[in-house]
């Protein structure tokens, strides 16, 4: 993985990320300055609407919300529906 260096204060790999559309914005922890955009992992499915907007499905631990979303939104794209179903299953049986 490439090093992320702040051009203002010189910190290396000391940053936090903020969702920004299909990317993540790297912000320096030292001087709070924007560093660069970072691509999200290609296999990561993200919700771009509602309560958990800009959140990867794998990071949502609210099983009730996921179940409600899966049952009530029949027009979700297949990839998002499948990711939600997988996450629900993981939350039901987390030891697997």
Beta bridge partners of 18: 25
Q: What is the pTM of this model?
A: 0.59
- The pLDDT of residue 93: 76
What residues does each domain of the chain span?
Answer: 1-40, 46-92
Provide mean pLDDT across the span 66-88. 93
Mean pLDDT of 7-16: 94
Whether the CA torsion 46, 52, 54, 60 is positive or negative: it is negative
The secondary structure element, H or E, covering residue 81 is helix 78-92
Check residue 95 and give its pLDDT: 61
């Amino acid at each position: 993985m490439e090093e992320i260096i702040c051009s203002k204060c010189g910190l290396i790999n000391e940053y936090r990320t903020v969702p920004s559309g299909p990317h993540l914005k790297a912000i320096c922890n030292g001087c709070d300055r924007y560093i660069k955009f970072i691509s999200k992992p290609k296999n990561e499915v993200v919700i771009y609407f509602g309560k958990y907007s800009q959140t990867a499905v794998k990071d949502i631990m609210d099983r009730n919300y996921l179940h409600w979303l899966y049952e009530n939104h029949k027009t979700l794209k297949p990839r998002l529906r499948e990711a939600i179903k997988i996450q629900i299953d993981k939350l039901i049986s987390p030891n697997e």
